[in-house]
Amino acid sequence: MGKTIFQCCARNSIARLIASAVVGTTLLFAAPGISHAGKITVYTSYEEDELAAFLDAMNKDLPDVEVDVLRLSTGDLRARMLAEADNPKHDVIWGWAATSMVDPRIMEMLEPYSPEGIDKVPARFRDKDGYWFATTGYMGAFCVNNEEMAKDNLAMPSSWQDLIKPEYKGKLVMPNPASSGTGYLHVASILQMMGEEKGWAYLDELDKNMDQYIKSGSKPCNAASAGENAIGISFALRAIKNIDEGYPITMVIPSEGAGHELEANALMKTSQNKEDAKKFLDWTVSKSAEAEYNKWKSIVTMQGRDMPEKFKKAGLPDDISTVLFEVDYAWAAENRDRIIAEWQKRYEK
């Protein structure tokens, strides 16, 4: 996706600031690498709609902190930060893939910081040395069209193993991991949970039942919702939204555990305004931030989350950790290029 600049401050509404994105771009790059008291620059990969909601809540809680936000997709943001490594232009990373955050070249740019309230975030969702922590994330799930399954008298799948049954031949659609973070989290989690030899053998079998691979993580669920495919391998939040909108689908979380990606936050050691950068990071684990995350995210890592009713109705448990496969983020990051190259060699037609 193309970049979008949001600027948040006490004097303006979010809607007005989104409308003045060009002005925001000028402000962001007018003085690269320089921050002043009360102003910080934040890089993020949150989606535009959720980002606007999060910034609106932050603006109410931190009216004296002005925030310039650059939003790019995960891969584009990674490329930008590496290109700027000798002269970083931001103070904070917010809502960015943990599997990218653990890149040693990125880690070298970070300064450990434990925000006020970090104890609410379990250790599995933060770096052991305090370089990053994740407050949100997204998880894999299957979107299964009830009508298509009934039409062909097919049983509802409950696991990855079910998806390689011969009766599902031509019924599946999945994101391409070379273009989709959701696609990669599925492949990486399968290879981790099964081991690489058995994992690739499984993916060979899964490929036999696949109708198509597509670029987007959400489109497989949309295709299943529309009846174009019986089963879309996608992510939970899209399933929840589509169920809430009345589509005839069931969300299935694979019994082996759902692969997932964390959206992590960190402090840049080159920040020129660490006082306000730390205020911002403190806010990201606040009750106010958590309340807003709850409206948008399938994974909110703070303990004691009050799971939204529509999420529970769609099938998420109150304790999301009980259905997540424990991903090794560093392994997923270190092996990404190799895994994608092997996947493309095997399955791209």
Give the C-alpha separation, 202 to 163, whole Å: 10
pTM score of the predicted model: 0.77
Check residue 181 and give its pLDDT.
82
The continuous run of DSSP H or E covering 222 comes out as: helix 219-225
Check residue 11 and give its pLDDT.
31
Give the C-alpha separation, 182 to 171, whole Å: 19
Residues 28 and 51 grouped into a single domain: yes
With b meaning 16 or more CB within 10 Å and e meaning fewer, what string describes 277-290? Answer: bbbbbbbbbbeebb
Check residue 134 and give its pLDDT.
97
List the one residue out of 1, 343, 323, 335 whose CA is nearest residue 139: 323
Structural domain count of the chain: 2
Residues 187 and 210 grouped into a single domain: yes
Task: Write down the H helix ranges in 226-305.
Answer: 236-244, 274-283, 287-296
Check residue 206 and give its pLDDT.
98
Check residue 37 and give its pLDDT.
55
Q: What are phi and psi of 214, to 5 degrees?
A: -130, 165
- Long-range interactions of 85-89: CB distance < 8 A, separation 24+: 85/109, 87/32, 87/33, 88/33, 88/268, 88/270, 89/29, 89/32, 89/33, 89/41
State the residue range of the domain holding 282.
4-137+261-312
List the one residue out of 124, 176, 96 whose CA is nearest residue 346: 176
Give the C-alpha separation, 67 to 64, whole Å: 10
Residues 105 and 235 grouped into a single domain: no
Check residue 17 and give its pLDDT.
33
Residues 40 and 84 grouped into a single domain: yes
DSSP state of 126: B
Give the C-alpha separation, 45 to 55, whole Å: 13
Q: What is the pLDDT along the chain (349 residues), one digit of tens a residue?
A: 333 345 443 333 333 333 223 223 323 323 333 444 579 999 999 888 889 999 999 999 999 999 999 998 887 898 899 999 999 999 999 999 898 899 999 999 999 999 999 999 999 899 999 999 999 999 999 999 999 999 999 999 999 999 999 999 999 999 999 888 889 999 999 999 999 999 999 999 999 999 999 988 889 999 999 999 999 999 999 999 999 999 999 999 999 999 999 999 999 999 999 999 999 999 999 999 999 999 889 899 988 788 889 999 999 998 888 999 989 988 998 998 899 999 999 999 7
Check residue 321 and give its pLDDT.
84
Residues 291 and 329 grouped into a single domain: no
Domain containing residue 121: CATH number = 3.40.190.10
Residues 100 and 59 grouped into a single domain: yes
Check residue 25 and give its pLDDT.
31
Residues 129 and 165 grouped into a single domain: no
If you count them, how many residues does the chain have?
Answer: 349
Q: Which residues contact 238 (CB under 8 A, 6 or more apart)?
A: 143, 217, 218, 221, 222
Check residue 293 and give its pLDDT.
94
Largest CA distance in the chain: 64
Give the C-alpha separation, 312 to 242, whole Å: 14
Residues 103 and 199 grouped into a single domain: no
Check residue 179 and give its pLDDT.
80
Residues 145 and 161 grouped into a single domain: yes
**Residues 260, 321 contacting (CB under 8 angstroms):** no
Residues 210 and 167 grouped into a single domain: yes
Location of structure tokens 């174009």: 228
Residues 106 and 239 grouped into a single domain: no
Residues 160 and 35 grouped into a single domain: no
